[in-house]
Amino acid sequence: MTAATDVQGLSTGNGLLAGYLEKINVSRVVFVLVMAVLAYLMLGPLLFLLWDSFHPGWEIGDETAFTLSSYIKAYTDKRFVEMLVNTTIFGLGATAFSVGMGSIFAWLVERTNMPFRNVTYALLFAPIAIPGLVFAISYILLLSPDIGVLNKILMVIFSLEEAPFTVYSMTGLIFVEGLRLTPGSFLMMAAVLKSMDPSLEEAGYTTGAGILQTARLITAPLMLPGILAAFIYYFITVIESFEIPAIIALPMGLQLLTTKIFFATHTTTQMPQYSVAAAISVVFILASAGLVYLYTLSTKHSERYTTITGKGYRPRIIDLGKWRYAAVGFTVIFFSFSVIFPLLVLIWGSLLPYLQPPSLEALEFATFDSYLKVGNIPKFGLAMKNTLFVTFTVATGTMLLSSLAAWFVVRGRIRGGRIMDLLAFLPHAIPSIVVAIGLIIFYVKMHRSLPIYGSIWIIIIGLLTKRISYGSRIMIGAMFQLHKELEEASEVCGVGWLKTFFLVTLRLLIPAFVNGWLYSALLSIALFTIPVMLYTPKSIVFSVLIWNLWENAKVQEACVVGVLMVVITFTLVFVGQYFASRARVQQTLT
């Protein structure tokens, strides 16, 4: 059944006026509900952050008056300008790298006949499942000037006296962070491309334009909202990240804003200063607000980007000809760095009692014991059960809420759509640790009326809060490309708003929805800052288990659980691919 026949079939014969009234009422009610849920999720951490930045110590029960001391401490640091400059270079560099690479792969996978596209799609997810610390350390084992295997090999091959590469540089930092974030930006861009009718590209080819010219003049401009959304999202992601900088930037003394946040909140020698972290985060919030505003301006005439209309929408594949093999070569090189090397290090680590540079000598220590004993890891079974529950709930909740929010932001004729957009995005700029502390305070205080503190639901709420920003970006980008004529046709047939949304709009956006669901699911499995702050023995999840194993020097066991996470990831990706393909086939048939 097609979207159009759905619309006809669902038409109940109500009068136009009644249908219009129904639409107005239901959409307004849903708008209020979505706004309320977003406000519930987002305003808590936001208000906590702002309040705490002016009331240091408040989060640990100190009675403090209003003061600017945290701002003074954060912004009068002698190295603040240096931190800001480094953070900006790092942010722009890694974002450009990941969004650029993500766009190229999205185009290759979604639009061309490059061989092994399904394998490429699945492999792109692997880095997400590799714990950040292991990912960063794997690059030290590969590209350190002293022990890096790749450097050693190149030195032998080219008879070099010095290592040609070093991971300990801004370039190295950008490269590793960019590699790690490429899967996410790939998914964002893939969602945009999946939902984009290539008839305009076809027109380009008809007029004699080549593949690259068409990509530059037609495809790229059409993808602009999606590219912008990805760029904004990942810029904030990069400048807030610490796992990779902790292993690569800190050792070389490179100062970033997140270094300051880390030192303020992870201290064994004094009480954590969350207010300083909050004061620094205000920069991220302002940057986010500014970027969202720019994004709004640049997508003001959103109809320019709509490509899915009621007239013959049909994704088609571009024949790359002999360039197919060049594309495969490029993909193999990229995958070697982004997936295969780190994955091999992860597997290598799961066979050895501690991580060491690959060598024949080290191979003597290799054993599969940890795989056989994985069931003996304390709380492994419980963590697996909880992880699956959290993953499914967070991913589904995130994408449903994001889809609704995206409709109101792009399509809704109700005032407040932009506020909703901002509300959905801003928590992305709040460091996870600040979100976690805010949640602890809120739910401890609410415990008697709302006993969520200590349960798995507080973890779900925390992850949902952080993931909405991604889900909303991906769905807004895709929604921009969906022409409203199909929804209008539905309206004319008298179908209610809710049915139209779920059976027409969301159905056409299924590819983007599935991509967003997968990425949210995978990040829910992998991210640890929020769960580690909120977990109890009963709500332990995989990411906490890995962190605890790591802390107790069970590197081998941590890698084994990491490998299992990669397996779960691939399973999820293949299942997701299956459903996305089915949805696409259905759309193509129409």
Partner 1 sequence: MRRLFLANVLGVTLLLFSAAIASAIDVPKWWIGSKGDYEKLVTAAKKEGKLVWWSHPDPECRSLILAPFEKRYGIQVEHTEYTTAQIVQRVLIEGAAGLYSVDVSNLSVHHIPRLEKRGLIKKLPYKQRVKTYRDIPEMISPNSTALIGYTSPRSLAYNTKKLPNDQVPRTYEEVLNPKFKGKISVDTDLKEYIMLAQDWGMEKTKDYLRRLGALKPKFHPNNTVITQMVAAGEVLMAPGTIARIPLYEFKRKGAPVDWRALKPSVPLDLLLQGVMTHAPHPNAAELFIYWMHGSGEWLAGMEKCGGYGHAMIPGSKLQKKLEGVKVVPFGWAWGVKSAKEGLGEQFRKIIGAE
Binding site for partner 1 (CB under 8 A): 59-61, 79, 133, 137, 140-141, 144, 146-147, 246-247, 250-253, 255, 259-260, 262-263, 266-272, 353-357, 365, 378-379, 437, 440-441, 444-445, 447, 453-454, 532-533, 536-537, 548, 550-556
Nearer to partner 1, 206 or 269 (CB): 269
Nearer to partner 1, 215 or 246 (CB): 246
DSSP H helices in 249-318: 257-265, 274-298
User: What string of DSSP letters covers 27-39?
Assistant: HHHHHHHHHHHHH
> What is the C-alpha to C-alpha distance for residues 96 and 544, in angstroms, rounded to an integer?
31
Least gap, CB of 37 to partner 1 (angstroms)? 24
Least gap, CB of 568 to partner 1 (angstroms)? 22
User: What string of DSSP letters covers 47-72?
Assistant: HHHHHHHHSTTGGGT-------HHHH
- Per the listing, tokens 């495969």 go with 328
- Per the listing, tokens 């190149």 go with 154
Nearer to partner 1, 147 or 414 (CB): 147
Least gap, CB of 376 to partner 1 (angstroms)? 9
Least gap, CB of 48 to partner 1 (angstroms)? 12
Cβ-contact 516, 397 below 8 angstroms = no
- What phi and psi, each to the nearest 5 degrees, are found at residue 308? -95, 110
Least gap, CB of 383 to partner 1 (angstroms)? 12
- Per the listing, tokens 């030195």 go with 155
Nearer to partner 1, 164 or 251 (CB): 251
Nearer to partner 1, 327 or 549 (CB): 549
Nearer to partner 1, 58 or 570 (CB): 58
Q: Quote the distance between the C-alpha of residue 367 and its chain's center.
A: 34
Nearer to partner 1, 186 or 453 (CB): 453
Cβ-contact 257, 280 below 8 angstroms = yes
> What is the C-alpha to C-alpha distance for residues 283 and 2, in angstroms, rounded to an integer?
47
Least gap, CB of 274 to partner 1 (angstroms)? 9
Task: Give the Å distances, CA to CA, from 279 to 57, 70, 261, 274, 492.
Answer: 13, 6, 9, 9, 51
Task: Give the Å distances, CA to CA, from 89 to 93, 171, 174, 233, 254.
Answer: 6, 10, 9, 16, 12
Least gap, CB of 255 to partner 1 (angstroms)? 7
> What is the C-alpha to C-alpha distance for residues 386 and 381, in angstroms, rounded to an integer?
9
Least gap, CB of 222 to partner 1 (angstroms)? 43
Least gap, CB of 392 to partner 1 (angstroms)? 25
Nearer to partner 1, 294 or 366 (CB): 366
84 is written with which tokens? 């800001």
Nearer to partner 1, 466 or 554 (CB): 554
Least gap, CB of 252 to partner 1 (angstroms)? 7
> What is the C-alpha to C-alpha distance for residues 73 and 20, in angstroms, rounded to an integer?
56
Task: Give the Å distances, CA to CA, from 529 to 262, 328, 422, 548, 572.
Answer: 12, 36, 23, 12, 23
> What is the C-alpha to C-alpha distance for residues 511 and 509, in angstroms, rounded to an integer?
6
DSSP 8-state code for residue 251: G
Cβ-contact 495, 11 below 8 angstroms = yes
Nearer to partner 1, 321 or 451 (CB): 451
Burial of 356 (0-12, 13-18, 19+ CB in 10 A): middle
